[in-house]
Structure 1
Amino acid sequence: MYELYIFDTKSNWDIIRSIVIASTLMLFFTMAASFLFREFALPRSVILIAYILMNILLISWKILYNIIFSKSIGTILFIGSEEEEDKITNQILNQYGKKVHVKFICSSEPINQILKHLQFVDSIMIGSGIENEKKLKVIYHSVEKGKPVYVIPNLYDLLLAHSVNTTIDDTMVMAMKPLGLSMGQQAVKRLYDIVASFIALVLLSPLFIIFALLIKLEDPKGSIFYKQERLGKDNKEFIIYKFRSMVEGAEKMTGPVLAGKNDPRITKVGRFMRKTRVDELPQLLNVLKGDMSIVGPRPEREYFAKQFEKELNHYFYRNIVKPGITGYAQIMGKYTTSVDDKLRFDLFYIRNYSFILDIIIQFKTIIVLFDKTKAEGKKERKERIETKNLTLKS
């Protein structure tokens, strides 16, 4: 759940944070089980000692493993458009640092020219704009040579990924189920949303009072809550609730504008609430009402949604399900993640929905709250991929 077995991409701090959060959650569950069921009753001292030892041993093992087995990943060949090049190469360098060397070849080059370079690299990454015929040939040749292949998926890839194998007579076919949740899945999800949002509102009511007072202290004349129209399931509009984190009437002069990192319209209390996601808590009321779910794609404003639909012709698919307070795009991406990448995460979630996935996303959201890079986005590395010629960059 907390990616403790992915060694190559996690820093020592990431490892420590993941282990402490996972073991702390386990501690709470153990203490709750010990309190509720006599069969699991254990002395608190035993539970606490086990918690401390587990953290020490797991952290030591993971860091030691990283030190012993840390090695260079080698050379990755990225095959994509020139528009994708800077973004993807910087993301690879941000992820792997000095362990990797990146080469680039434009997907518009002849297939023979592309295949020629496969033998000189350790792994291949394929962009989203490449023609299907070229993509298949690259995958075939890479698999044949035993080289790992990473594909940035388009809608077709995402739909096919969770298809079901079946047969018509003796012919194998892949059955693609429609996007969206079944009636049973919707019923279970709604029941959970009602129970979870009601309990959360009761437990967090002191927090609501505290931040309501802080907002009023900073701006006595301003409102506590911010209300705005958003698009929900099937593009139906609803009113979303948030704690007000900007000055009153922030958009009267600017019009609809996405908030920037150091946006002067954000108040002091608002800046803290945005960093900790506290400003989103009133959306529990939206969940209880049925406008939203605990987990789902984030609801967008109609003004921005129309702009995104012009650039991404399958953007509207994300509104097949109810929007959520948190989602797969929020735990896997960052605040600065591009709209098309967030859309891939959202469509992956819709395609692979399960109640267990919802629970995992909620637990992983806890990690995001402690991860500054998720809120601010990683800075681009200054290393530039030098150009040898228009075709290959290394």
Structure 2
Amino acid sequence: MKKIQWGTQLFRFGTFVVDSIIVVFSVYLAFLLLFNFNPPEYNINPFIEIIPFIVIAYLIFMYVFGLEDLLKRSMSETIYSIFLSVGALFISTAFITFFARGFAYPRSVLIVSPIVQFILLSLWRTIVWKISRVNHGIKDSLIVGEQSIEYLTSKILTKQKDLYKVKYICDGKSKRLFSYLDKVEVVFLCNDVDLDLKKQIVDRCLMARKSIYIIPDIYEIALLNSKLNRADDIPILKVRKLGLTIEQRFFKRLLDVMVSLVGIIITSPIMVIVTIAIKLSDGGNIFYKQERVTEDEKVFNVLKFRTMVMNAEKLTGPVLAGDEDPRITKIGKILRATRLDELPQFFNILFGSMSVVGPRPERPFFVEQFKEEIPDYKYRTIVKAGLTGLAQVLGKYSTTPEDKVRYDIMYVRNYSILLDLKLILQTVKIMFMKESSEGVKDDMPFDELMKEEFSEVTVDVDKN
């Protein structure tokens, strides 16, 4: 097992080293192609001087856009991440050469090298992806849970069946639970598993060196980044309070003002075009104001471009938008798919009712409803509501409120300026990913899913 883990880590390290070599080689290849394989020293020296900065910049963007994950992302998402990383590197290289006074760095090379980088990195990462999938294989898995077991099982069966083969599904009452556990390589634990049973399963998995994945509840999330303390010689974990310090609030507000001002300036031409398009489409209102809840449950009016027909909720009342909601206009579908309907919220951020990054603001009607259904929902309003957040980057529009709450609380627990910057950049990535902007779907019922494709799964769950 240790040899396998060491080999995996070495493979990952080697992948990033080869990535860096390809990035640098692509620029040099562009020089060779554009200067007939004899680039002048005067032109190539500025490139040689900034090689370390190019490599560092690429590794940062590689991490931000998810290229450090060699296994679980699809091939299409990997290619998309390469495109974004190379694009960001192109902009960074232009800035680096300017500040390094490398004015002899040819613009033609600056333009051609990203194309070469994208082609070579895509070919290389395709090979890496296939090797990673072959080495991982399809691992036999056990899912343990109570009420939420069907939801987790459906996700794994439909989204990760090329990585995990679900062989057993059982609840905490199953007498054969540990027998199932001994026959699999991976264990998935739902958040509603009894704490004592969860401890036994984790202990057994650790001893057997099995992989274990746990849906966290507030108890597990609260322990994240806990500080080691002691009472005399007794080790104690100090659980940090949820929320931001005065210093964190100051720097977060400073970032908000800077990003919102830059965002308004850069996107102003787009907002003008959207304004004209909405007005020409049906002649209705351009903007849509709606009451939302932010920090400490304060209510404010969020500003968005209108994506639905006028008076959309006159007959239905407050309801979540569906995947094929007839109330959404043709222009609205485009705006929602690209997240452009959210652009006016830069003004909300500038005036202080929102932050760039934070839990998405919800309507008072749904806040009261979710607070009754989800005990941990109250923790979302510890920080200011945001334009984007961890739930938006890692989840989807159709992600359940329970899972969004988990993401939001984990964001508060792990908050840092660097995390905010990372999420801002990652938001660019998800803007054009259709799946992330889809409305709430009616998934296939669990029983039908099991009958249709997965009849070999052993289900040991007490329905009573």
Global fold match (TM > 0.5)? yes
In the other structure, the counterpart of 2:91 is 28
Alignment partner of 1:323 is 2:385 = yes
Residue 336 of structure 1 aligns to a residue whose secondary structure is coil
Equivalent in 120, 140, 151 of residue 75 of structure 1: 140
In the other structure, the counterpart of 2:363 is 301
Alignment partner of 1:202 is 2:272 = no
In the other structure, the counterpart of 2:250 is 187
Deviation readout 1:106-134 (Å, 9 max, x if unpaired): 33315x63222211001111110011110
Residue 246 of structure 1 aligns to a residue whose secondary structure is coil
Residue 375 of structure 2 aligns to a residue whose secondary structure is coil
Counterpart AA for 1:315 = Y
In the other structure, the counterpart of 2:237 is 174
Residue 29 of structure 1 aligns to a residue whose secondary structure is helix
Distance between the aligned counterparts of 1:90 and 1:20, measured in 2? 31
Contact 2:307 2:331 in 1 (8 A): yes
Structure 1: gaps of 5 or more residues: none
Residue 46 of structure 1 aligns to a residue whose secondary structure is helix
Distance between the aligned counterparts of 1:368 and 1:186, measured in 2? 26
Distance between the aligned counterparts of 2:148 and 2:289, measured in 1? 37
Residue 406 of structure 2 aligns to a residue whose secondary structure is helix
Greater Cα shift, 97-106 or 319-328: 97-106
Deviation readout 1:17-50 (Å, 9 max, x if unpaired): 1111011111111112323441586222333343
Q: CA deviation at 1:387?
A: 6.0
Normalised to the residue count of structure 1, the TM-score between the two structures is 0.94
Check 1:51–1:122 CA distance in 2 against 1; reply closer, same or farther (3 A cut): same
Distance between the aligned counterparts of 1:305 and 1:169, measured in 2? 44
- Within a 5 Å distance, the mapping from 1:168-317 to structure 2 comes to 168-220=231-283, 222-317=284-379
Normalised to the residue count of structure 2, the TM-score between the two structures is 0.80
Q: CA deviation at 1:287?
A: 0.1
Residue 244 of structure 2 aligns to a residue whose secondary structure is coil
Counterpart AA for 2:150 = D
Residue 18 of structure 1 aligns to a residue whose secondary structure is helix
Residue 176 of structure 2 aligns to a residue whose secondary structure is helix
Residue 98 of structure 1 aligns to a residue whose secondary structure is coil
Deviation readout 1:268-311 (Å, 9 max, x if unpaired): 11111111111111111100010000111000001011111111
- Within a 5 Å distance, the mapping from 1:45-56 to structure 2 comes to 45-56=108-119
- The percentage of aligned residue pairs carrying the same residue is 38
> RMSD between aligned alpha carbons?
2.0
Q: CA deviation at 1:162?
A: 1.6
Contact 1:33 1:41 in 2 (8 A): no
Residue 266 of structure 1 aligns to a residue whose secondary structure is coil
In the other structure, the counterpart of 2:405 is 343
Contact 1:165 1:174 in 2 (8 A): yes
- Within a 5 Å distance, the mapping from 1:121-160 to structure 2 comes to 121-160=184-223
Residue 162 of structure 2 aligns to a residue whose secondary structure is helix
Which has more radius of gyration? 2
Structure 2: gaps of 5 or more residues: 1-63
Distance between the aligned counterparts of 1:369 and 1:113, measured in 2? 45
